[in-house]
Structure 1
């Protein structure tokens, strides 16, 4: 027990020094210009004096992060099927060092002003609600004084953080509450699942609305996506949303949380991107305007023969592609055009825009054809 207590008292010791870097392009289908592969950060041996807001602690050997604790704990040989909904509980596959590392990272985040909660390997709040079976009306958000209210439990008080983790020894990660002072954190979740390309979609929005994507804290997810951390104003409140700005872009605002770097989940570990800045950048005003705008009205059909306004924006987006992003932008724009029913109409204009950037007509047509096959559900390779 004394050994476990000492592990909980430890703080992350590996704090790599990084410098701002241009985000990787992520250009599928352009062998001549491969995107820089995403790699996890290997922490340095010592914590520099001017460490970032959150940098990952020295990680254990990857093999040991997923092996069961070799201790004498008794585990069932043939676990039977669940008969009830899963509830948080001890996870025999979660090594004790993952819990200790998560606590250490959470304490450091709390020290930097980020309210935190413990998370399970499935990225859910680790503490079950004290009102299960008899919900409060209106819902209790912690006024009862007990733990188990999800993101509403988030705290920067180290004693409270230790108390939460002590009550959830199965926790292997932590979440940072968004929208809370002093940072009023906004999370931009750029997804890559199901054919989405959140990063390219964000670049398109940035060019269309004239705002820069500032260098900021960037966390790489096990699925290949990334989380951008931005700071916002105390008001208006930034709401959570899924795909509202564009496919592949989710927003974490008030009432939401981000999985913190160093967290171990069922799919892998979250880590800070190499070269990412140490502190979150302020959200650009034009982006805040998009995040606080009323939900768009029901989509109306354009008059016959008049292409919708985004069509010209898609062509401009492809025409302005820098080297390293040409195929990614062309593919993304072709997918959006195809989804709008304008795939064939815009194919020639997109091909010409791609040739302006230096791609050959053959390369451009192959990329556009790949986007069309994706919509039909056919293999793209």
Structure 2
């Protein structure tokens, strides 16, 4: 059983305030767990802050020191979830292989990440890093301006997850039965290198991307706004409507692909990231099939776009 002594409570409060003091948004997790202290959509009573519709911990996460101090002074030993997306950050979760899971016979996530950096010829700068109780590490980077990166699971490596929009990670000071999260490197978060932005959005069939993969270009402002609208719609889809919403969103993005305004790999990665936010791994294969089918159908019926005059962009 997790202790509730005053020293541990003070330590967690100080840790939560330190995170919030950096401008990063936090939310309490149940003592000794990774579970956010909040109700799920099916259990939402539509009252309080949810009167106008169900809200999520990501929407409620805060960096306000007064609110953080009050919450972490209440008594339970709330663990600390930090939400990278609304904090302007992106987190790489380099895990240890887990028996019985994909990647159990592969190198650990940190080794995979360094190998990927060497293959891509990109830098892997020192950044704010947390050590997990199981020997993994979380590397926190600043997301490039205007870059909205979604959370992924085993997308860039069999033992590497990412946490952006739609995800969170436990912060230093948090406690699990197997141990605590500790700060390994207190460097300021470095800007996420361009090669990592690319690998986070492209479709990678293996842990380390192949040589024949083509770089994925970021969409222009018009297309990016359209993508954000569809992705936000998928993320907010409620059980019972998700298949239809995902299909129509993938079809709409497929039309942009057909019009050569959007790369298919980028669209697929964004849609997969949105689906990951549902936390329904049992339907992952079915959801992938919906994405592929609807993207192809949309691409076969390209969207007609009338170009609007705009100032030329600087080189």
In the other structure, the counterpart of 1:116 is 26
Q: Rg bigger for which structure?
A: 1
Contact 1:99 1:173 (8 Å CA) reproduced: no
Q: Secondary structure at the match of 1:160?
A: helix
Q: Which of 180, 192, 202 does residue 96 from structure 2 map onto? A: 192
**In the alignment, is the contact (CA less than 8 A) between 2:58 and 2:86 conserved in 1?**
no
Residues 296 and 248 of structure 1, relative CA distance in 2, 3 Å threshold: closer
**Rounded Cα–Cα distance in structure 1 between residues aligned with 2:163 and 2:58:** 12
Counterpart of 1:180? 86
TM superposition score normalised by structure 2: 0.56
1:350-361 alignment runs, 5 A limit = none
Tell me the equivalent position of 1:162: 69
Q: Aligned partners of 1:157, 1:279: CA distance in 2, in Å?
A: 20
Q: Secondary structure of the residue that 2:122 maps to in structure 1?
A: coil
User: How many residues matched?
Assistant: 202
TM-align CA RMSD: 3.2
Which 5+ residue runs of structure 1 have no aligned equivalent? Answer: 1-90, 300-307, 312-381
> 1:191, 1:204 → 2: CA distance?
15
Q: Is the 8 A contact 1:117 1:164 kept in 2?
A: no
CA distance, structure 2, for counterparts of residue 239 and residue 130 of structure 1: 20
Alpha-carbon separation, structure 1, partners of 2:128 and 2:7: 25
Distance in 1 between residues matched to 2:113 and 2:43, nearest whole Å: 42
SS of alignment partner, residue 72 of structure 2: helix
| Residue number in structure 2 paired with 1:240 | 151
**1:189-338 residue pairs with structure 2 within 5 A?**
189-194=93-98, 195=104, 196-273=107-184, 276-293=185-202, 295-296=203-204
CA contact (8 A) 1:101 1:262 kept: yes
Report the CA distance shift for 1:142/1:178 in structure 2 as closer, same or farther (over 3 A).
farther
TM-score by length of 1: 0.47
Which has the larger share of helix?
Answer: 2
In structure 2, relative to structure 1, the CA distance for the partners of 1:177 and 1:145 (3 Å cut) is farther
Gapped runs of 5+ residues in structure 2? 99-103, 213-315
Give, in whole Å, the separation in 1 of the partners of 2:176 and 2:210.
Answer: 42
Pairs within 5 Å for 1:3-42: none
